[in-house]
Structure 1
Amino acid sequence: MQTPSSLNAGQEPQSAGFGEYLGILRKRRKLLLLVALPIIAIGAALALGLPDVYRSSGQIELEGAQNIKQNPNALGQDPDESPYADQYVRSLSTVVLSDRNLAKLLAEHQLYDDQAEDPSAALSRLRGDIKVDIVTVPILDPTTGRERDVVTAFTVAYDNRQPERAQQGAQWLVNSFLEENRNDRRRQAAGKAEFFAREAERIRTHVAGLEAKLAEFKSKHVGKLPELNEMNLSVMDRTENEIQNVESQMQALRRERVFLVAQLQQARAASPETANLRALEDEYARKSVQYDQSHPDLIMLRRQIDQLRAGGSAAGQSLQAQLQTQRSILAEARQRYSEDHPDVQRIQRNIEALQARIASGETADRTASADSPMAIQLQTQLNATDTQLAALQARAMELRTKLSSLEGRIVAAPEVEREYQAVTRDLASARAKYDELLRRQMDAEVSEAAIAGGTADKFRVKSTPKIPEGPAKPARAAIMIIAVVLALIASVTMVIMAQLFDTTVRGARDIQDILGVAPLTAVPVIKRASGGKRKAPAPAYAATAALAVLAMACAAVVVRFMA
């Protein structure tokens, strides 16, 4: 025969089964109902008693949202696009939902029946009934290759117990968001235009100073500017050629002078006037072959020949008479030739030489009393040659001075060019900046005008607020489900707690847990015969709970209909 200790050693404690748990719940059903029914009653009261609240909402889409949705590569291509659109919407909400702005809404629309009695409470209630939610779309960022949320729109919703009032409030809020965005962008454009105008005026003053500096630099370095280098080189080449030409003329005049001096000496050696007449006639015949009859030399020879044939002599003529003769010859030559003709210029130089001699105090030719007309003519030509030679020498000196000045300009050109480039570079940069500021100022002014006219809005109403067809809250089914779940959790928890703290022995398992030994046998529960009398299953607490639920439900219905 086995002892209890041996039986305990040979058997393991049995775990509680589903039937035992079900028995516990059946045994604790009073506590279960006592906890669950009030919670369910409260949930039913809330589900039935809370008044209907209608919600009207409108959605405002940001500019470029459709392009970003269809083409993620367009993200960030707009220079005016803000990467912090959500922050901008929130900052815009603080302005729209400010007390002053919401007070305008309450003044324009009757949203609450008691808003005139307590404006501050109505204002607080209005702010609590408004909801602003950001709408984002996940896209693949082309720059990072990762998925990110992009703000494309935001919704503005307003809750009210009457659907018409909900639609009026939501519509007013949507319009207020649009108007505030327009005002904000207009202020920004006006600020930009004013800033660019100030900067443009400052740069314009700077440009004027640089232009004055450039003008002063040009006046200081006349002819040395780099843009005149090609012209200076060309003038230098022409000057060198002109110097060579003048030197060639001077060499020719020097040879002619030597020839005239030799002829003058021969003419002074031959004294008879007849020889002079013959020499003049021979010279006239020789020159008449080369020149026209109106040539000044032929005219002068004819006058000398006529004078000798008339018995007169050119000898002894005063300088004044010679000057008069040369002037008459010059007058006849000007009728035939222009002022640039060599003969006209030669006669002018003879006249200038005679005038210079007269101004020096001479009254007659130094050899007038002894020289023949041929000698006088040769002396005149010699004087003219000397005058031309002196003029050419002066011209050569002038050209060499000019050539030296040109060489100095070319040598100084690199240093002048360096300073000139610095001044012009600063001026060009300032002018470009000035033009850019003017352009941006004009763009800002045009943008401000477009924003004021409503043709450049960044917000677009995607869906306008409408009168709601049904209430948005409360969610009565959800309240009941939550109440049932909470009642179930609370009641089961209370049953478990009661079972844990209950020390009553109610079976073989409790004896085994307390004494540590298994009983030899267990007497089952002896049920009464079917014909016996049973105790009524409806205790007082169940009736009380049912009445409480019914009373709370009725109160909730009354409150709902009164609201």
Structure 2
Amino acid sequence: EEVSALSEKQTVFKGEDEKPENPSYINLQTQITSTQMDIETTRKECNLLKVKYEEYQKRVENTPQVEQEYLVLQRDYSNAQAKYQETMNRLLAAREATGLEESRKAERFTLIDPPVVPEKPDRPNRLAILLIGMVLAIGCGIGFGSLSEYMDESVYRADELAAISGLPVLAVIPYLETEEDRKKMMQKKWVWIVSTAGLVIIGVAAVHFLYRPLDIVWIQIIQRFSIGF
């Protein structure tokens, strides 16, 4: 409307004065040009605003879909973060367990059940050693006795004397024991008693230290007798 009014005024002024040097004409022409430029600028701004409006309209229309995708991404991120935290916790726990195991290597362990002492040793076979020793001792005793008797050239009976001399024995005078002889016989008896007692003690000690402790042997004997009765 403003442009139309200015055009009408321009026509009137043209009729009055056709010279372009007319100030009123120049002023109107300038106003028309300026107004046309403003219109063009305003039209461009309207087009830009229309484009922006359409863009914002599309954004508004796509907002639910974008929000849903954002929620999915946020959920995946939360799951990944939870798995990462769980993995880190397991790694820390494993490192702590490894450190505890390494620090406890030099510690003393507490046994739930005390160690059981075996009733008899696995090796060597002490019973066989004792039996072999007894057999060797008896054999050596018999051997030394036989050897000493074989080498003894003393005469103990009348027939032995007759056989050696070739003459008959007319009489045999018995040996009369004196007090000194009886003391010697008593000493020999005590020697035999002490020797026998010593052998018994040595045998018991050998059984205790070489075969099996005497307390275990005693318990086994009692158990066998209790089972038998």
TM superposition score normalised by structure 2: 0.43
TM superposition score normalised by structure 1: 0.20
Looking at secondary structure, tell me which structure has more helix per residue.
2
Which structure has the greater CA radius of gyration?
2
Higher relative contact order (CA 8 A, sep 6+): 1
